[in-house]
Amino acid sequence: MRPYLLPKTRRAAFYTLGCKVNRFESDGLAQKFRELGWETVSFKEPADLYLINTCTVTAEAQRQSLQMVRQAVRNHPEAVVGAVGCATRLFPEPFLEIPGLRFVGGCVNKMALPPLVVSLRPEHRTLYLPDEGTPPLEPLFPWPETRTRALLKIQEGCDGACSYCLVPRARGRSRSLPPEEVRRGLKHLSLMGVKEVVLTGIHLGQYGSDLERPTPLAALLKDLLDRHPELQIRLSSLEPQEVGPDLRDLFHSFPNLCRHLHIPLQSGDDGILKAMNRTYSSAFYREGILDLHQRFPTLSIGADLIIGFPGETEEAFSKTYEFVSKLPLSYLHLFPFSPRPGTPAATFPGQVPQKVKKERLRIFRELDRRKRREFIARCLGKTIWAIGLDGGDPQRGNRVLTENYLTVFVSERVEKNERVRLKLIGPDGEGIKGKIVEREGGGLQRIFLGTML
């Protein structure tokens, strides 16, 4: 098939659902299209190609993925519309049935798609490009066009077996980017002017176990922090058993490690954790969180919770609520249980009615708001580094994001991606007000020492 060259610069737009890895991959796809001479634009702008990067972690995420595809086909009948991602890999049929959808790709091979789809025209039949195998990670270091923080995927896939999860089927076995490629990526992003990098993966804590010379995540992170004191490095989600002593000690040694961890809990009831096939107890989780809080009082610690898992009785729900309410967590990510086809949990007895899930979610959302307020109160009067975000509020000021994951409003002018040090002076709705005490200069090592921790 010969490429169809448009009489103007071709434009591609991307819409991303789901996790940080999907966001990274959308950035990577945008870069691949730019290398082929395309311009990348907002999904709301006119374009020749609209690509939806789908998610299937919950039934709602898959529904939204299908909705966005239908909307793009309806609103842009003269454009090429395509879909890739976890939903299209595991459940391609509903997508292939959408009239006007021109191509459906997979998940782990999505970076190979751009050269294949640039030749498509709206009148061509739907092209189905399923995944084949699970290839090694491709070194990819895209610039974050719409964000201040860069994502760097260093791990892919998952060797876990949680009873509710489809991710291992969608993403394949765990694979790691070799340490030398990670170092090359961080150097590249630093030279491009990035100030903060988020290391991410499908199961980040499994990093390095598959390599010929196994390299634990903590060892890799220590090397990266030492090589790049000019960069703030943030970690995405880690399992409770993966936040070990070696990793915790890095917060003492390296001020450029962002004071923020996301550690999924899922349930505070040991019977539910066992049914989920989680590999820790509630006591283990509590011990780890309390140790982190005692050592680093203003470390932001977030947690995931699945509400209404099969078998979650009123007693189990109350136990989880009491357990979480007593922990010094900073915020909660809440998910109603969503039975996914092909997972053991989808057929478990004791399925919780939707009405009950909805009420339990309401109760936990109020607890989440309380946790956020309590964390803000703990941080008042402290000084901390932050990075300027894009946009602000005429009434509240410019927005910045602190290293411990607070959105702060300051009255002083802050450019996007500018790094400043703030004093946190008061609450501002669900956020916080701050005052700039120093702008970037003098080096992170000198400025970070003796601040929050």
- Three-state DSSP at 157 gives coil
Tens digit of pLDDT at every position of the chain (453 positions): 334 444 456 999 999 999 999 999 999 999 999 999 999 999 999 999 999 999 999 999 999 999 999 999 999 999 999 999 999 999 999 999 999 999 999 998 899 889 888 777 766 678 888 888 888 888 999 887 767 789 999 999 999 999 999 999 999 999 999 999 999 999 999 998 899 999 999 999 999 999 999 999 999 999 999 999 999 999 999 999 999 999 999 999 999 999 999 999 999 999 999 999 999 999 999 999 999 999 999 999 999 999 999 999 999 999 999 999 999 999 999 999 999 999 999 999 999 999 999 999 999 999 999 999 999 999 999 999 999 987 667 677 889 999 999 999 998 888 888 899 999 998 877 679 999 999 984 333 333 333 344
Residue 77 phi, psi dihedral angles, 5° rounding: -65, -20
CB 233 within 8 A of CB 225: yes
150-372 adopts what CATH topology? pyruvate-formate lyase- activating enzyme (3.80.30)
Q: How many CA atoms lie within 13 A of 29 on its CB side?
A: 34
CB 369 within 8 A of CB 430: yes
Instruction: Give, in degrees to the nearest 5, the angle at Cα 137 between 136 and 142.
Output: 160
Q: CATH for 380-448?
A: 2.40.50.140
Nearest alpha carbon to residue 160 among 343, 406, 313: 343
pTM, to two decimals: 0.91
One-letter amino acid for residue 231 of the chain: L
- Three-state DSSP at 334 gives strand
Nearest alpha carbon to residue 215 among 165, 178, 268: 178
CB 258 within 8 A of CB 234: yes
Residue ranges, comma separated, of all CATH 3.40.50.12160 domains in the chain are 11-129
**Cα–Cα distance measured from residue 333 to residue 18, given in angstroms and rounded to the nearest whole number:** 13
Per-residue pLDDT reduced to its tens digit, 206-240: 999 999 999 999 999 999 999 999 999 999 999 99
Q: How many CA atoms lie within 13 A of 349 on its CB side?
A: 0
Residue ranges, comma separated, of all CATH 2.40.50.140 domains in the chain are 380-448
Instruction: List C-alpha distances in Å: 7 to 10, 48, 249, 447.
Output: 8, 11, 58, 53
CB 267 within 8 A of CB 239: no
User: Can you give the three-state secondary structure of 229-295, one letter per residue?
Assistant: CCCEEEECCCCHHHCCHHHHHHHHHCCCECCEEECCCECCCHHHHHHHCCCCCHHHHHHHHHHHHHH
Instruction: List C-alpha distances in Å: 41 to 9, 36, 45.
Output: 12, 15, 6
Residue ranges, comma separated, of all CATH 3.80.30.20 domains in the chain are 150-372
**Cα–Cα distance measured from residue 186 to residue 381, given in angstroms and rounded to the nearest whole number:** 33
Nearest alpha carbon to residue 374 among 435, 424, 329: 329
Per-residue pLDDT reduced to its tens digit, 92-138: 999 999 999 999 999 988 998 898 887 777 666 788 888 888 888 88
Kind of pairing, strands 232-235 and 196-201? Answer: parallel
Instruction: Give, in degrees to the nearest 5, the angle at Cα 73 between 68 and 76.
Output: 115
11-129 adopts what CATH topology? Rossmann fold (3.40.50)
- Three-state DSSP at 431 gives strand
